[in-house]
């Protein structure tokens, strides 16, 4: 009976230590308390954090990309990532959302502005070769749905087709041009 009480006590102490340390320290503690049940700690997602996204170019693995967010571009910071792919590779929605604006600019060329479902973030896709057939403003998009094709429109080098992809935290009036750029690279997964 003393052995059972001792093991139970050790198990409770280990469990409390594990909860206090967080799940990243769980393996060493759990190994010492194999007789005690392990209760996982649920972490709540930060409601202001961007939603998880997939790599917005079909067939490109995250491991094949590099983080270009903080690189210089002339006199300013890039504030986006460039995803290299052959011209015509499908560009896919990084997340569910709605096409807010289709636009052509000198810098970005053929572009798509997609708002996330909560209208807190804007996904910006630029240098497209063309849009997917029938793409229009107000269109709902599902994660992975084709919205366009990799190209070199705008100020992109004509011999380096790529997608310029940015994530913008919208201001309260939902004006992406006044929003705050967030590095999308650490938030992407190769689903």
**Residue 144, phi-psi category: left (phi > 0), alpha (psi -120 to 50), beta (remainder):** left
**What pLDDT, in 10s, does the model give residues 11-47?**
545 444 444 445 444 444 444 445 555 555 545 455 6
Segment among 35-49, 59-73, 84-98 with least mean pLDDT: 35-49
Count CB atoms within 10 A of the CB of residue 1: 5
The proportion of the chain whose per-residue pLDDT surpasses 90, expressed as a percent, equals 43
Look at residue 37 in the predicted model and tell me its pLDDT.
59
Q: Among residues of the chain, what percentage have pLDDT more than 70?
A: 67
Q: For residue 101, what pLDDT band results from cuts at 50, 70 and 90?
A: very high
**Matching residue, tokens 């460039």:** 82
Return the structure tokens found at 50.
């961007």
Residue 9 — pLDDT band, cuts 50, 70, 90? low
Average pLDDT of the chain, as a whole number: 78
Long-range contacts of 15-21 (CB under 8 A, 24+ apart): 15/39
Distance CA 28, CA 32 (A): 7
What band does 174 get if pLDDT is binned at 50, 70 and 90?
A: confident
């Amino acid at each position: 009976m003393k052995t059972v009480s001792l093991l139970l006590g050790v198990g409770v102490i280990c469990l409390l230590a594990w909860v206090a340390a967080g799940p990243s320290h769980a393996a060493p503690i759990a190994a010492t308390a194999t007789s005690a049940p392990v209760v996982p700690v649920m972490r709540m997602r930060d409601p202001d954090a961007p939603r998880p996204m997939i790599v917005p170019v079909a067939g490109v693995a995250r491991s094949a990309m590099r983080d270009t967010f903080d690189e210089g571009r002339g006199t300013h910071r890039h504030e986006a990532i460039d995803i290299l792919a052959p011209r015509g590779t499908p560009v896919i929605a990084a997340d569910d959302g709605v096409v807010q604006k289709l636009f052509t600019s000198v810098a970005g060329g053929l572009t798509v502005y997609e708002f996330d479902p909560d209208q807190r973030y804007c996904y910006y896709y630029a240098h497209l070769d063309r849009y997917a057939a029938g793409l229009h403003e107000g269109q709902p998009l599902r994660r992975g749905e084709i919205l366009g094709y990799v190209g070199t429109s705008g100020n992109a080098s004509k011999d380096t087709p790529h997608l310029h992809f940015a994530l913008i935290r919208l201001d309260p009036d939902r004006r992406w041009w006044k929003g705050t750029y967030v590095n999308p690279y650490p938030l992407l997964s190769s689903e």
